[in-house]
Structure 1
Amino acid sequence: MSAGLSSGQDAEGILGHRAGEAIAAIAPSLEVIGTAINGENKLLLPGFFNAHSHSSEMWQRGIIPPLPLELWLAQLYDFAPLDLEKVYLSALGTAVETLFSGGTSVVDHLILIPGKELETIATAVRAYKEIGIRAFVSPLIQDESMTAGIPSGETKQNHEAYFRSTQATLELIEEAVRQFHRPDEGMSILVAPTGIQLCSDALFQGCIELSDKYNLCRHSHLLETKAQEKLAQEKYGCSAVEHLGRIGYLGDRTSLAHCIHLTDTDIAILAETKSTVVHNPLSNLRLGSGIAPILKYRQAGVNVSFGCDGASSNDSQDLLEAIKIGSILHNITDFDYQHWITPRQSVEMASLGGAKGLNMADKLGSLTVGKKADLVMYDLTSLSLLPRTDPIGLLILGRPTNAVESVWVNGKQVVANGKVTTINVDDLRQQLYDHSQWDTKRKSQTVAQLEAYYRTVMDLL
């Protein structure tokens, strides 16, 4: 494959070509090997990372009312799909939306069907392999019940035991690694405890051991809400970041979603341990969780990438939208405009930042000879990218629609002429329609049970 790159001019030139799965050379003029790609008025970039998502939430997008995370989760789990076919379809849908918004990799913090955990993982893996996106499947695990995620305040609470033991959960993840962890084939398994709010130290320690044994990356939510900040003090007598640092969970293979309520000391710990923050600006706003101090992270040297989060806490998997909001949102948090994120910095965060967080910076994240050919080509004649100015600025600061012309993952073209080549998207659309129904009056019994208590401990009464 050879590809051309236009930086806003009408000039046409060859950017590079690949041999097999990797970029073999980059130069203004190269001998064409294989099929030549017309790059006139096209923008070629490394594929972005949707570095935090929950694919099966797709079935509840648009229906959960405005609620903070702890009550939102109660409603989510009351109506979570217990259907493997829905797991399959929503993984496909997540992948398609990611591809059409510049992503070539997705981190799926996958919600597991109780009693069908391995089947859930196998189903998502099958979907991602079929479509051809690079996937980092991160089975969402916990070993404490839902109510344990809410601070106790002045009350004393007894929580029901979780239905699966810590040891059984760790054995489940180890079996998933044996069956599905194939990074050379574009399919990785991560250890992914949901977070300090629903996980014991024993579960975190077990995940650390599995991570070290199999060279796995680690993924978790961290300090998404004020409630979690309070809970950490109740559980540990210190911040959650300090505690995770002490038990050894942080490191250069660890990515942490949200990271909103952190102190300067916490930020220094993340920088020292080379941990990655995954910024999910839309869900943070949707759930009223807060604005993560992303500019502080960048100034401290913390690696930052972008995620869409789940499709019912964001209600979309549009990665370009998350990148735009996640870039300009912080202009209001620091008066010094020299600290604001530029469009080119956003591109680097979305590509190389994502790769660093998954220990893949030597293989992915930039247009570099020897790296994997995970590439996205945008059509600069798309109406949403006109009139012609700075193509990077138009892509990041604009509202690109139908702008992705081609996508390659591991050198294989999975989108051509704006259409997915590996699955029938019209058929997917029909199946998503057929497996759902209009619903505007749904009520959650668990939210009704928890709301008064939540409002009490969060001083909302």
Structure 2
Amino acid sequence: MVDTIRNVLIPVENGYDTVDVQVVDNAIAAISPGCDATNSAIDGKNKLLLPGFVNAHTHSSEMWQRGIMSVFPLELWLAELYDFAPLDIEKVYLSALGTAVETLLSGGTTVVDHLVLIPGKELETIASAVRAYKEVGIRAFVAPLIQDESLSAGIPSGESEQIHEPYFRSTQATLEIISEAVKQFHRPDEGMYIATAPTGIQLCSDALFTGCIELSEKYDLCRHSHLLETKAQEKLAQEKYGCSAVEHLKRIGYLSDRTSLAHCVHLTEADITILAETKSTVVHNPLSNLRLGSGIAPILKYRQAGINVTFGCDGASSNDSQDLLEAIKIGSILHNVTDSDYQHWITPRQAVEMASLGGAKALNMTSELGSLSVGKKADLVMYDLTSLSLLPRTDPIGLLVLGRPTNVVNSVWVNGKQIVADGKVKTIDVDNLRQELFNHSQWQTTRKSQTVAQIEAHYRTVMNLS
């Protein structure tokens, strides 16, 4: 199959060029004015073509709790989430569909889903998300969220002695689930990937991390995890290891050029050096970091140190959105207040490169994704520059990143297949999805979490909030 996008605007070093972009099968075959005529010509006039962005960290099933979670820091927020997030397989499927659609319509062609698993139905949970992503046609890295320690273990002990209930599933049983998931669902040729993804040092043993390293090396999988999202996690690492979490992860071999780490809000200068040396990626989630009061990740420092940084929406109840353009905007301009030297600030073009090529680098796929280059896979997004929120005409990328663009995605291709045309997803019935999300939910207001009531006093004590 051959598609030619005619007379479309693309960014070049000193501005923009109007070109034709030819897609043959799943790859970009030509970028030049006046490509040969094809059976399928698409009008790109007054439109901007960019490589697809990567939503490099989210939790799709959190969609069911968005808009209602209490104003809490992460540790208490998680306790509430656990109390009120009983899932079923159908809800996992529907929220993965919703996450894919929202990502596509805000410029993303790839999603990294740190997927919450239903206890006792782990493989069915993964299968349900995989089914949804395949139906929509988005490129997906399903990263099952795993742990082997109980929720209370994620809070520092302080000067008190804490006894934690054993986790309900053994470390070995968890690793066997991931191994089986790889065998059943890891299909890179079909745009479907499994990643190893322990939730973080706060809820995972070294045995779980090292087991994930072994699986990653055996099957050539990406690695993912949360890292130092909160001050509490910084304290906890010192209690558990007597050093920073980054130093410990380096010691056990988890950090590498195939490792992406969500948040990284509280890093030391030594930590920054380690991440740069190991070529690990930081996934910046500015909206959830603000929503949960976790802090502002110093990503300008990270970039200056040579660390690859990309963007994630995070889950839809800590954000409470899957609008990737919003995350990119906030994740760029937020840092103008963290460094007075404006020469370090992130420009719109740099933000676009972080979201596309930076995302590809996080997934060890820069040879295949992340830029408009002949030979790379055709994961492309075309924006309508006549949309009201992208007018009047100035700098197209500036308007896209610094504005508040709404309904601006005209077309999306993933692996050469057009899955969005004229602003509408072609692969699934989005109106039916909206109705299903409505039918499977209800209006709610406030509620009380029993787990929060049990742990809040201890949390306030160890965080010096008493």
TM-score range, shorter chain: over 0.9
1:390 corresponds to which residue?
A: 395
Unpaired segments ≥5 residues, structure 1: none
- 8 Å contact kept, 1:81–1:87: no
1:299 corresponds to which residue?
A: 304
State the shift of 1:129 in Å. 0.1
Task: Say yes or no: does 1:246 pair with 2:251.
Answer: yes
1:134 corresponds to which residue?
A: 139
Work out the CA distance in 1 between the residues paired with 2:146 and 2:17: 50
1:60 corresponds to which residue?
A: 65
Q: Deviations along 1:208-236, whole A, 9 cap, x unmatched?
A: 00000000000000000000000000000
Work out the CA distance in 2 between the residues paired with 1:424 and 1:18: 26
- 8 Å contact kept, 1:2–1:35: yes
Task: Say yes or no: does 1:342 pair with 2:347.
Answer: yes
1:330 corresponds to which residue?
A: 335
Work out the CA distance in 2 between the residues paired with 1:105 and 1:355: 9
Work out the CA distance in 2 between the residues paired with 1:434 and 1:337: 49
Task: Say yes or no: does 1:2 pair with 2:4.
Answer: yes
Work out the CA distance in 2 between the residues paired with 1:122 and 1:401: 32
What is the identity, as a one-letter code, of the residue corresponding to 1:2?
T
Q: Spell out the pairing of 1:13-92 with structure 2 (5 A cutoff).
A: 13-92=18-97
- Structure-1-length-normalised TM-score: 0.98
2:124 corresponds to which residue?
A: 119
Work out the CA distance in 1 between the residues paired with 2:17 and 2:249: 51
Instruction: Report how many aligned residue pairs link the two structures.
Output: 459
Give the alignment partner of residue 405 of structure 1, picking from 403, 410, 432.
410
SS at match of 1:37: strand
- 8 Å contact kept, 2:10–2:49: no
1:429 corresponds to which residue?
A: 434
- 8 Å contact kept, 1:13–1:29: no
Q: Spell out the pairing of 1:276-295 with structure 2 (5 A cutoff).
A: 276-295=281-300
Work out the CA distance in 2 between the residues paired with 1:305 and 1:441: 34
Q: Deviations along 1:253-287, whole A, 9 cap, x unmatched?
A: 00000000001110010000000000000000000
Work out the CA distance in 2 between the residues paired with 1:332 and 1:72: 27
- 8 Å contact kept, 2:10–2:19: no
- 8 Å contact kept, 1:7–1:391: no
2:156 corresponds to which residue?
A: 151
What is the identity, as a one-letter code, of the residue corresponding to 1:83?
D
1:274 corresponds to which residue?
A: 279
2:419 corresponds to which residue?
A: 414
Work out the CA distance in 2 between the residues paired with 1:403 and 1:154: 54
Q: Deviations along 1:95-142, whole A, 9 cap, x unmatched?
A: 000000000000000000000000000000000000000000000000
1:265 corresponds to which residue?
A: 270
Q: Deviations along 1:409-443, whole A, 9 cap, x unmatched?
A: 00001100000000000000000000000010221
Q: How much identity, in percent, do the aligned residues show?
A: 80
Work out the CA distance in 2 between the residues paired with 1:82 and 1:335: 46
Task: Say yes or no: does 1:441 pair with 2:446.
Answer: yes
- 8 Å contact kept, 1:57–1:310: yes
State the shift of 1:395 in Å. 0.1
- 8 Å contact kept, 1:12–1:40: no
Q: Deviations along 1:342-381, whole A, 9 cap, x unmatched?
A: 0000000000000000011100000011100000000000
| Alignment root-mean-square deviation, CA | 1.1
Work out the CA distance in 1 between the residues paired with 2:157 and 2:456: 14
SS at match of 1:115: coil
SS at match of 1:118: helix
2:358 corresponds to which residue?
A: 353
State the shift of 1:399 in Å. 0.4
Work out the CA distance in 1 between the residues paired with 2:127 and 2:276: 35
Give the alignment partner of residue 310 of structure 1, picking from 291, 308, 315.
315
Work out the CA distance in 1 between the residues paired with 2:382 and 2:190: 23
State the shift of 1:28 in Å. 1.6
SS at match of 1:406: strand
- 8 Å contact kept, 2:257–2:362: yes
- 8 Å contact kept, 1:59–1:81: no
State the shift of 1:83 in Å. 0.7
Work out the CA distance in 2 between the residues paired with 1:114 and 1:59: 17
SS at match of 2:67: coil
Unpaired segments ≥5 residues, structure 2: none
Task: Say yes or no: does 1:374 pair with 2:366.
Answer: no
Work out the CA distance in 2 between the residues paired with 1:336 and 1:94: 37
What is the identity, as a one-letter code, of the residue corresponding to 1:288?
G
- 8 Å contact kept, 2:110–2:140: yes
State the shift of 1:7 in Å. 6.1
SS at match of 1:141: coil
Task: Say yes or no: does 1:193 pair with 2:164.
Answer: no
Work out the CA distance in 1 between the residues paired with 2:353 and 2:333: 15
SS at match of 1:297: helix
Work out the CA distance in 2 between the residues paired with 1:406 and 1:358: 24
Work out the CA distance in 2 between the residues paired with 1:82 and 1:276: 31
SS at match of 1:36: strand
State the shift of 1:17 in Å. 0.5
State the shift of 1:14 in Å. 3.4
SS at match of 2:42: coil
State the shift of 1:82 in Å. 2.1
State the shift of 1:12 in Å. 9.3
State the shift of 1:339 in Å. 0.2
